[in-house]
């Protein structure tokens, strides 16, 4: 049976800054870390959580839109995560703004492990008209 997509179509004007999503949990495995380190060609890379894009994950579970382009991203390092620990992510809409006629949404997320250790914070500015960027990039 086909899954029903019950996501809400994004209404940028109606989106409320401060909206906080349901907490999200996942297990960070050694295999995930090894694959990440291979991909970024750095055997000491300490924050594989970056690849999990946890700040936009819950947004994407709740809303559907035309896609997005990452325009800006900030990452705060607190403690490298430990393999085999469950991480809990709290994510929210931190801001939204209009620049040069284009709509942006800022999401923010904080990850904490099962022992209560603060892991990282990520803040992402996403442009919500990705095809505009494609035109500028010239294919």
Partner 1 sequence: MGRIIRDYAEGDEITTLVKELTQEAINLFEGSAGNTGPSQFTDVHAAKEVLGTEGTVASGRMSLTFAIEMLRRHFGPEVFNHTGIVDLRFLRPVRPGDTITFTGKVTGTSKEANGSRVSVAIEVKNQKGDTTGVGQGSAIVPNAFLPPEDL
- If one asks whether residue 44 binds partner 1 (CB under 8 A), the answer comes out as yes
HSE at residue 40, side-chain half, CA atoms within 13 A, is: 15
For residue 14, the minimal CB distance to partner 1 (Å) is 23
- If one asks whether residue 32 binds partner 1 (CB under 8 A), the answer comes out as yes
Q: For residue 10, what are the contacts with CB-CB under 8 A and spacing of at least 6?
A: 63, 64, 65, 128
Contact 99, 81 (CB under 8 A): no
Contact 89, 56 (CB under 8 A): no
- Residues within window 63-92 making contact with partner 1, judged by CB under 8 A: 66-67, 69-80
Q: Which of 10, 21, 52, 109 binds partner 1 (CB under 8 A)?
A: 52
- If one asks whether residue 94 binds partner 1 (CB under 8 A), the answer comes out as no
Residues forming the site for partner 1 (CB under 8 A)? 32-33, 35-36, 38-42, 44-48, 50-53, 66-67, 69-80, 123, 130-131, 133-135, 137, 139
């Amino acid at each position: 049976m086909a899954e029903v997509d019950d996501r809400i179509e994004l209404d940028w004007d109606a989106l409320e800054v401060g909206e906080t999503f349901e907490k999200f949990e996942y297990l960070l495995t050694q295999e995930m870390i090894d694959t990440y380190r291979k991909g970024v060609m750095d055997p000491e890379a300490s924050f594989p959580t970056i690849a999990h894009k946890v700040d936009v994950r819950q947004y994407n579970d709740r809303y559907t839109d035309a896609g997005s382009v990452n325009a800006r991203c900030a990452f705060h390092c607190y403690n490298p995560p430990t393999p085999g620990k469950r991480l809990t992510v709290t994510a929210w809409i931190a801001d939204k703004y209009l620049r040069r006629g284009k709509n942006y949404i800022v999401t923010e997320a904080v990850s904490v492990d099962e022992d209560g250790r603060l892991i990282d914070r990520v803040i992402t500015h996403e442009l919500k008209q990705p095809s505009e960027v494609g035109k500028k990039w010239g294919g």
